[in-house]
C-alpha cells in the first residue's frame, strides 16, 4: 500500500530552527509537496521537489532523497505565525496526491 | 500562482436539506479538480476526482449518490451534499491541478455544519 509518515506534533522555540521529516512509500513518484495549513483554513503551497537535493525559498527549505523515500522541511528563524500543520504529499504514478497526516508545529516564545 | 475560488466559505443547514459548494479556477482552465473532506485534527481525505465533461471518480467508501459532483466547464466544479446529516459536518476543500502540472491550487474551503 501507499504510505506517508510524518511526526504528529513538534514543538520549537521562536527564532530557532526546526526540521520536519517525511518518509514515503508510493506507487511511483512524480514529485513531493509541502503545504502549510493553519487551523480552519485551506492548505497553502510551500515547496515542490522532484529531483534530489535541497530547494531553498526564504526561511523555508525542502530536501528530497528519492532513493531513501525521504524528505524534510526546514524552517529557520521561526516566528509565532509559523505555528500550523505542515502536510507532506507525494504525487504517485497516476498523478494522484497521497497525503501525510500532517505535523502540528507549536512555536513557543 | 493560479487562483481557485470556493464558495461559500461556511454554511449551516438543517438536517435533510441539500447544500451546493462551488469551486472555480479563476485564471486557468482546470481539466481536473479534486474534492477533499477534512475532519478536525485529521488530514485531507480525497473524496473524488472531477474531470471536465465526464463523470467523477469517487474514492472507496464515498457515496456518489450523496455527494454529487458536476464539472460542466473547464473553470467550474460543484459538490452537492444531498440530504445532509450532522455526520456530514466537515471542512470541504477543492483543488485544481495546475496547467503546468506542479502544485495543486486549493480553494479557501467550506465549513459545513448540519444541525
Q: Give the percent of chain A with pLDDT over 70.
A: 100
**Residue B77 clears pLDDT 90, i.e. is over it:** yes
**Number of other residues whose CB lies within 10 A of the CB of residue B42:** 12
> Does B20 lie at the interface with A, CB-CB under 8 angstroms?
no
Report the distance separating Cα A60 and Cα A19, nearest Å. 10
- Whether the Cβ atoms of residue A18 and residue A32 lie closer than 8 Å to each other: no
Q: Identify the residue with better confidence: A76 or B72.
A: A76
Report the distance separating Cα B98 and Cα B31, nearest Å. 9
Contacts of A34 in chain B (CB under 8 A): none
Task: Summarize pLDDT for B27-76 with one digit per residue, the tens.
Answer: 888 888 999 998 887 778 889 998 888 889 999 999 999 999 998 888 99
A-B Cβ pairs (cutoff 8 Å, strict): 40
Contacts of B104 in chain A (CB under 8 A): 33, 45, 97
So what's the pLDDT on residue A32? 94
So what's the pLDDT on residue B105? 84
B108's grid cell: 479557501
Q: Identify the residue with better confidence: B28 or B19.
A: B19
Tell me if A87 and B107 make a contact (CB, 8 A cut-off).
Answer: no
Pairing of strands A103-108, A9-13: parallel
So what's the pLDDT on residue B30? 85
> Does B109 lie at the interface with A, CB-CB under 8 angstroms?
yes
Report the distance separating Cα A55 and Cα B24, nearest Å. 30
Contacts of B101 in chain A (CB under 8 A): 95
**Residue B102 clears pLDDT 70, i.e. is over it:** no
**Residue A91 clears pLDDT 70, i.e. is over it:** yes
| Best mutation target, A31, A39, A42, A92, to test chain B (most B CBs within 10 A) | A42
CA A29 to chain centroid, in Å, comes to: 16
Query: DSSP for A5-69?
Result: E--SEEEEETTS-EEEEEEEE-SS-S-EEEEEE-TTS--EEEEEE-SSEEEEETTEEEEEETTTT
- Residue for grid cell 517525511: A22
Task: Summarize pLDDT for A59-75 with one digit per residue, the tens.
Answer: 999 999 999 999 999 99
Amino acid at each position: 500500500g501507499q504510505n506517508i509518515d510524518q511526526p504528529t506534533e513538534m514543538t520549537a522555540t521562536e527564532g530557532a530552527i526546526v526540521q520536519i521529516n517525511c518518509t514515503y512509500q508510493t506507487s511511483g513518484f512524480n514529485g513531493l509537496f509541502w503545504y502549510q495549513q493553519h487551523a480552519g483554513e485551506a492548505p497553502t503551497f510551500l515547496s515542490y521537489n522532484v529531483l534530489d537535493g535541497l530547494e531553498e525559498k526564504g526561511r523555508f527549505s525542502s530536501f528530497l532523497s528519492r532513493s531513501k523515500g525521504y524528505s524534510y522541511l526546514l524552517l529557520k528563524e521561526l516566528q509565532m505565525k509559523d505555528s500550523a500543520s505542515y502536510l507532506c504529499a507525494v504525487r504517485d504514478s497516476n498523478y494522484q496526491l497521497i497525503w501525510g497526516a500532517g505535523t502540528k508545529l507549536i512555536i513557543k516564545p | 500562482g493560479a487562483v481557485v475560488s470556493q464558495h461559500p466559505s461556511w454554511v449551516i443547514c438543517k438536517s435533510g436539506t441539500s447544500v451546493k459548494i462551488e469551486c472555480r479556477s479563476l485564471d486557468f482552465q482546470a481539466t481536473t479538480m479534486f474534492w477533499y473532506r477534512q475532519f478536525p485534527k485529521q488530514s485531507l481525505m480525497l473524496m473524488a476526482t472531477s474531470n471536465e465533461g465526464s463523470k467523477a471518480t469517487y474514492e472507496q467508501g464515498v457515496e456518489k449518490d450523496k455527494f454529487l459532483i458536476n464539472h460542466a466547464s473547464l473553470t467550474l466544479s460543484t459538490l452537492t451534499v444531498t440530504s445532509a446529516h450532522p455526520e456530514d459536518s466537515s471542512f470541504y476543500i477543492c483543488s485544481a491541478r495546475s496547467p503546468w502540472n506542479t502544485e495543486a491550487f486549493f480553494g479557501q474551503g467550506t465549513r459545513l455544519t448540519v444541525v
